[in-house]
Chain A
Amino acid sequence: MSENTTAGYLNMDLLRFTTAGSVDDGKSTLIGRLLYDSKAIFEDQLEAIEQNSKARGDENINLALLTDGLRAEREQGITIDVAYRYFATPKRKFIIADTPGHIQYTRNMVTGASTANLAIVLVDARKGVIEQTCRHAFIADLLRIQHIVVCVNKMDLVDWSQEIFDNIVDDVKKFASRLNNIIDITFIPVSALLGDNIVDPSEHMNWYEGPTLLYYLETVYIGADVNHVDARLPVQWVIRPHSDAWHDFRGFAGRIAGGVFKPGDEVTVLPSGFQSKVKAIHTLNGELAEAYAPMSVAVTLVDEIDISRGDMLVKRNNPPVPRQDVEAMICWFSADKTLMARGKFILRHTTKEVKAIIKEVRYKVNINTLHKIEADLEFTLNDIGRISLRTSAPIIADSYKSNRITGSFVLIDDQTNETVAAGMII
């Protein structure tokens, strides 16, 4: 029995990471190698892409065909959407949000980054830090990804040069000093094609003493990424069994967005402000002594209070302030419509939906240079910038910096029902 079976899986945790890059960076090769070396690519898949690569006239096996599953992607030889990929080692399960790296796919990168703990930024050792590197680091920072791994790839093509690697490290650090949220940046010199420092340590770069990419992914500490201090439970659904066995049961069901809840804890219901105590935390497998993010639970309270979807249970220390005036960074997703001051939208925040009007567009950001743009304030596809808006009813929000779940929202076009923007509250 291999290690990745019954004995180990009960202790495995989950790491979500995002990669952004274009074909030239060797991103597909890197992912392909991680998948292949961890046995997440199967022989029938490999055979199928082998045949396909041949039919297309590709010289080598084109690992991009593994992820580029849609007909349009295969025809055009590009990734046009976020592809989710999975692999596991005995220590961790990994979810890769694989996104195209070109500027026209900024919204896809933002989407992939929104749920990621970690971002891999690929730098071609021959080219060094280019616009795209900065853009990817900026997006990772904006979405508050706390761990960045800069893989300096194609080291085999620069004679495994430590000097070139060191220069790239300096350049990235210079740029990263202008970013806000990133907690740690790790630099790894690799050759995805030859496998150096991906799974096994390189024999060509004795000057590098750090971890291999896989070792780093397996061991990076992510337990502190979630806010476990400020207790937040957005109510999704009220469970009322109406059965004899559970006559007066009213369970407030939701996924904990932050902090820890225990029976006996004093809680406040927002926006009403009513106060009560946690009676019990229920699951099918029994009551829990405590519950924390990102667990899905049902909580009962000692008092009978009117609570419905869209309300939030919080603890009395450091509660969020219900607000109707919101300052936020947004990324615009719509190719058909634009955003300007006085635009009206539906705003969805946690489990609540309200109307919103854009009060002011403050600035847009040139995401290659980080310069503010104040001359042109109309958002078109992929634009990122700062706005202020007012909602029709209070939302119970934190800053995105302190909580990614209670600090984020999307804007929806009320005519087309499309999701047109992602927002991060300041």
Chain B
Amino acid sequence: MYQDYTITHLRQLESEAIYILRETAAQFEKPVLLFSGGKDSIVMAYLAKKAFWPAKVPFPLMHVDTGHNFPETMEYRDAFIATLGVDLVVASVQEAIDTGKVIEEKGPYASRNSLQTVALLEALEAGQYDAALGGGRRDEEKARAKERFFSHRDAFGQWDPKNQRPELWNIFNGRKHHGEHFRIFPLSNWTEMDIWQYVKAEDLELPNLYFSHQRDCIVRQGVIMAVTDFIEVQADEEIENMTVRFRTIGDATCTGAALSTASSLEAIIAEVAAARETERGTRTDDKRSETAMEDRKKEGYF
């Protein structure tokens, strides 16, 4: 019988990501997987489980903790890591502030987003990690569209977008000098839709923030922000109870919500298919300038 040896787009992306994860384990001394509790890092950690099964994932997870978390994210994080049976390293932004390594932004629009870079680079250095796996996708943002799977960082953690190593076929060059490290992005070729379809296909559990729920919000600069302890509500801002969900989950001070009644994976997939705004459209951290992401990445951001 004639047989068609093709696999679906999700299985191709899965296979590619597993290949990258195994290359990372093989080419580096001490990798670490950056885990934010968002859907991309959950998918990445799950793929790591697949890559090394039935053995355990041979590297720890690292959470860069701004201290401004949604409580749901933290609950999910701890339960998820328990099922993987790997160690968790916490890089604390609060600690960096307390020890005077960074100075916190002031004012109602203050965010610890940019402070994460310092905490991350410190933690990578302290743990002597030479490869940090990130869940970044090229479809997210135009600077990320030019990112490599194996992205070289100099001894200062900086990215030089004009001088990146070419990546051909299945061959990834992770050679480096002492003190340098790599950022590695196994999900480079995934889109937001692929992530959701994969979550559905593999029946993965996600934090409930991704699903429609009621919560108190304010609208600031066109973005719906959840009212939390970390947000200073201004006199002219009105608190409203809204039916929302989050398309991305990050620091509570810069992650906007979207009005949505999608409470199941099917409904979310339909919503993503019909969406006319990018998921990062709700991220205030990208809105600071036209090349905000590239500028942060050069300094060592995710």
Whether a CB of chain B sits under 8 angstroms from the CB of A279 is no
- Whether A13 contacts B273 in the complex (CB less than 8 A), given A284-B49, A417-B175, comes out as no
Closest residue of chain B to A110, judged by CB? B168
Check if B170 sits within 8 Å of A223, measured CB to CB: no
Check if A9 sits within 8 Å of B170, measured CB to CB: no
Check if A5 sits within 8 Å of B269, measured CB to CB: yes
User: Which chain B residues in 249-276 approach chain A with CB under 8 Å?
Assistant: 266, 269-270, 273-276
Check if B49 sits within 8 Å of A93, measured CB to CB: no
| Bound-complex Cα distance A226 to B161 (A) | 32
Check if A236 sits within 8 Å of B50, measured CB to CB: no
Check if A241 sits within 8 Å of B54, measured CB to CB: yes
One of B138, B145, B166, B273 near A422 (C-beta < 8 A) = B166
| Bound-complex Cα distance A350 to B278 (A) | 37
One of A70, A108, A236, A255 near B26 (C-beta < 8 A) = A236
Whether a CB of chain A sits under 8 angstroms from the CB of B228 is no
Chain A interface extent, by class = 35 or more
User: When each residue 264-290 of chain A gets 1 if its CB lies under 8 Å from chain B and 0 otherwise, what string results?
Assistant: 000000000000000000111000000
- Whether A412 contacts B278 in the complex (CB less than 8 A), given A86-B191, A240-B55, A418-B165, comes out as no
> A293 CB to closest chain B CB, in angstroms?
8
**Complex interface: chain A residues within 8 A of B166 (CB):** 107-108, 110-111, 333, 419, 422
Check if A409 sits within 8 Å of B171, measured CB to CB: yes
**Complex interface: chain A residues within 8 A of B51 (CB):** 253, 296
Check if A88 sits within 8 Å of B191, measured CB to CB: yes
User: Which chain B residues in 140-196 approach chain A with CB under 8 Å?
Assistant: 141-146, 161-162, 164-171, 173, 175-177, 188-189, 191, 193-194
One of A83, A88, A242, A255 near B19 (C-beta < 8 A) = A255
| Bound-complex Cα distance A23 to B269 (A) | 35
One of B189, B201, B294 near A69 (C-beta < 8 A) = B294
User: Which chain B residues in 9-58 approach chain A with CB under 8 Å?
Assistant: 9-16, 18-19, 22-23, 25-26, 49-56
**Complex interface: chain A residues within 8 A of B7 (CB):** 13, 294-295
Segment among A37-45, A146-154, A181-189 that sits at the interface with chain B:
A37-45
Check if B277 sits within 8 Å of A42, measured CB to CB: yes
**Complex interface: chain B residues within 8 A of A412 (CB):** 173, 175
| Bound-complex Cα distance A408 to B26 (A) | 20
Whether a CB of chain B sits under 8 angstroms from the CB of A243 is yes
One of A11, A43, A67 near B276 (C-beta < 8 A) = A43
Whether a CB of chain B sits under 8 angstroms from the CB of A380 is no
One of A74, A246, A296 near B22 (C-beta < 8 A) = A296
Closest residue of chain A to B176, judged by CB? A417
Whether a CB of chain A sits under 8 angstroms from the CB of B128 is no
One of B4, B26, B167, B171 near A309 (C-beta < 8 A) = B26
Which residues of chain B have a CB within 8 Å of any CB of chain A? 4-16, 18-19, 22-23, 25-26, 49-56, 138-139, 141-146, 161-162, 164-171, 173, 175-177, 188-189, 191, 193-194, 197, 200-201, 266, 269-270, 273-278, 281, 290-291, 294-295
Which residues of chain A have a CB within 8 Å of any CB of chain B? 1-2, 4-6, 9-14, 39, 42-45, 48, 52, 66-72, 74, 80-86, 88, 92-93, 95, 107-108, 110-111, 114-115, 222-223, 226, 228, 236-237, 239-243, 245-246, 249, 251, 253-255, 257, 260, 282-284, 292-296, 298, 309, 333, 346, 348-351, 404-405, 408-410, 412, 417-419, 422
